Structure 1
Amino acid sequence: MAETTHPSGTGAHGAPGGDDGTSRRDFLYLATGAVGAVGVAAAAWPFIDSMNPAADTLALASIEVDLAPVAEGQSITVTWRGKPVFVRHRTAKEIDEAKNVNLSELRDPAPDDKRVQKPEWLILVGVCTHLGCVPLGQKPTDPRGDYDGWFCPCHGSHYDTAGRIRKGPAPANLVVPQYAFLSDNRIRLG
């Protein structure tokens, strides 16, 4: 039986142009594609989500440190991202020593005020830039090297009171981590 065309230009079943199957087929293709895309996304989500860091890793991404118990002239070491971080409450003498250095004499020139946010607080990643050792100088009984800062006994690197390399094989200063003061006596690392 032949299909009849109505005067309005639609086929017997109301499809435009008289071809009822074309528009239905297009709709079915689009609907099938959309359902398939949603299915692929739902199947891929657990895999993608597994690439996010674990909760314990995120907890280490930033830490807060209370500076109130750290007396002037004292240093503490905290662990952040698996590395030691040196926090030193510098004395006026240490601040003056750090400021009064001829930058042209330094292997890795950096003025003291670019390495600290507040002159009395020096925060550094405590890893020697030579071979990754942990320098001495945090405890009162530790040798502090020739510049009253830190000393790496493994290969003889000496750092000053701003954590800048002054003597020995280390190629660069001790790294200043990303940190922010939350208050006068509290910082957040990371």
Structure 2
Amino acid sequence: MADEGPQGTKRDFLFLATGAGLAVGAGAVAWPFVASMAPDAATVAAGAPLDVDLSPIQDGQIVNVFWRGKLIFVRKLTEKEVTDMKAVSLSDMIDPATFDSRVKKGHDQWLVSYGNCTHLGCVPIGHSGNYEGWSCPCHGSQFDAVGRVRRGPAPTNLPIPPYAFETDTKIKIGEEGGKAVA
């Protein structure tokens, strides 16, 4: 019986070592499959806030950027456009909105809006139509320079994404008041 003690200990150790080796091996085999289900870096980054440098944008210019796979218009309004857009009567609009509700206070020369028509999602053409803004080539909706729908079947204005000014020449789309939007 004195021989069974050490044999039992060796056997227990062999079972434990074999089990641990199998567990590590199974983990090594399973890891690539589990890792393949994680989103790639581009997908993770697509939801991250987007910094936009405004300094190269000229008066009247519209720049297109993408955030979370959505087209965003960034437009620097001219002084005339600001004056004209402030003077528009709310009764002339399909979806009434004041100029000040479309731009950030203190930065009224900048419009940041989603870039798809609110009728069927087409991309309106900039600097076209009767209202100094955009017109949709598919169904004829027209938006003014601050993205308010003025004519056509589009039911609402171009939506405003969450964004914040970090400096006078830099905005962060995907943040509002310095807090990231999920």
Would you call these one fold, judging by a TM-score over 0.5? yes
Asked whether the equivalents of residues 128 and 152 of structure 1 are also in contact (C-alpha less than 8 Å), the reply is: yes
1:133 aligns with 2:122: yes
Query: Alpha-carbon deviations, 1:43-72, whole Å to 9, x = none?
Result: xxx9xx999865423312211000000011
Counterpart of 2:152? 168
Equivalences for 1:1-190 in 2 at 5 Å?
Answer: 54-61=40-47, 62-117=49-104, 118-137=107-126, 144-190=128-174
Structure 1: give runs of 5+ residues left out of the alignment: 1-45, 138-142
Residues 122-176 of structure 1 deviation map (CA, whole Å, 9 limit, x = unaligned): 1110000000000001xxxxx5101010000100000001100000000000011
Specify the code of the residue in structure 2 equivalent to 1:83: K
Secondary structure of residue in 2 paired with 1:148: coil
* Contact 1:124/1:174 (<8 A) preserved: yes
Structure 1 moving runs of 4+ over 6 Å: 49-52
Aligned residue-pair number: 138
Structure 2 stretches lacking a partner, 5+ long: 1-30, 175-182
Q: Is the 8 A contact 1:108 1:171 kept in 2?
A: yes
Kept after mapping to 2: 8 A contact 1:73/1:89: yes
| CA distance, structure 1, for counterparts of residue 44 and residue 170 of structure 2 | 20
